Amino acid sequence: MNKIQRTSLITDILNDYYKNLPVPLDHTNSFTLLIAVLLSAQCTDERVNKVTPLLFSKANSPVKMIKLTEKYIYNIIRPCGLGPQKSKAILGLSNILVKNYNGRVPEALDELEKLPGVGHKTASVVVNQAFGIPAFPVDTHIHRLSQRWGLTNGKSVLQTEKDLKKCFPENSWGRLHLQMIYWGREHCTARDCWGLDCKICKTCYPNRKKKFLHKKP
């Protein structure tokens, strides 16, 4: 089975399993999405969703956020881990948004990446899920699955993103991003499957006998 055949099969299976997926992180606008994605670094979406209701009840916009102290923010978000860095970034980017963007989250990827605590993946999630701009954010699940499914060599997360964008049409990137995350959590986890057991791995590589050891980001 060649790569074109695999991508078609992968698309069909994912569309069959996941027709309408919700965005995993609870949010009400582009700013709260940005903050939620920032908090999700090295933290589960489930935990973020338990923390953000209190934070967003106090500040659901940059204008309101800059009225809070860094310590106050830290005390709320501490369960998400990396509290000192994240609270500093949240306050810092909120000040920049108020000062330079009239309190609005910019839609341009390069502008988002200039904000404190906002990397390429975070910016990609925001432009896609908040503004509908085509992007293919790659997290650990997607990086792992892409290697198990023979879509990339796993040299780096950025290389995986480039390879996936070549494999799939632009209008499917956002949907596939969510579908692959859910598949990685539910069917092809880091400590199970190993490229041998889930439906997609077995169908793409029916003759694979040994565990597939993926490269970590």
Residue 112 one-letter amino acid: L
Q: Are residues 110 and 196 in the same domain?
A: no
Distances in Å between the Cα of 41 and the Cα atoms of 13, 65, 104, 139, 141 are 28, 20, 22, 10, 13
Q: Is residue 7 part of a domain?
A: no
Using alpha carbons, select from 109, 175, 116, 114 the residue that is nearest to residue 142. Answer: 175
Residues 43 and 89 in one domain: yes
Domain range for 167? 136-204
pLDDT for 154: 87
Provide the pLDDT for residue 2. 94
b/e for 65-80, b at 16 or more Cβ within 10 A?
bbebeeeebbebbeeb
Residues 127, 107, single domain; the answer is yes
Q: Is 64 a catalytic residue?
A: no
Q: For residue 166, what pLDDT is reported?
A: 97
What pTM was computed for the model?
0.94
Low-confidence ranges of the chain (pLDDT < 50): none
| Residue 201 confidence (pLDDT) | 98
> Can you give the CATH number for the domain in which 123 is found?
1.10.340.30
In a domain, 96, yes or no: yes
Question: Is 16 contained in some domain?
Answer: no
Answer whether residue 192 is part of any domain. yes
The residue out of 131, 152, 183 marking a domain boundary is 131
Instruction: Provide the number of structural domains found in the chain.
Output: 2
Last residue of a domain, one of 72, 107, 131: 131
Residue 184: C-alpha distances to residues 1, 27, 59, 108, 180 (Å): 22, 23, 33, 29, 6
Q: Are residues 146 and 108 in the same domain?
A: no
pLDDT for the residue 217 = 83
Q: 91 in a domain, yes or no? A: yes
**Catalytic residue from among 26, 45, 64, 139:** 139
User: Can you give the pLDDT at residue 216?
Assistant: 87
Quote the pLDDT of residue 64.
Answer: 98
- Angle between the N-to-C axes of helices 83-100 and 70-77, in degrees from 0 to 180, rounded to the nearest 10: 130
pLDDT digits (tens, 9 = 90+) for 142-173: 999 999 999 999 889 999 999 999 999 999 99
Please identify, among 131, 146, 174, the residue that sits at the C-terminal boundary of a domain: 131
Angle of helix 120-131 versus helix 157-167 axis, rounded to 10: 40
> Whole-angstrom Cα distance, residue 84 to residue 171?
38
Residues 142 and 75 in one domain: no
Give the CATH number of the domain where residue 185 resides.
1.10.1670.10
Contacts of 197 (CB under 8 A, 6+ apart): 188
Does 25 reside within a domain?
no
39/113 same-domain check: yes
- Looking at residue 89, its pLDDT comes to 98
Instruction: Look at residue 116 in the predicted model and tell me its pLDDT.
Output: 98
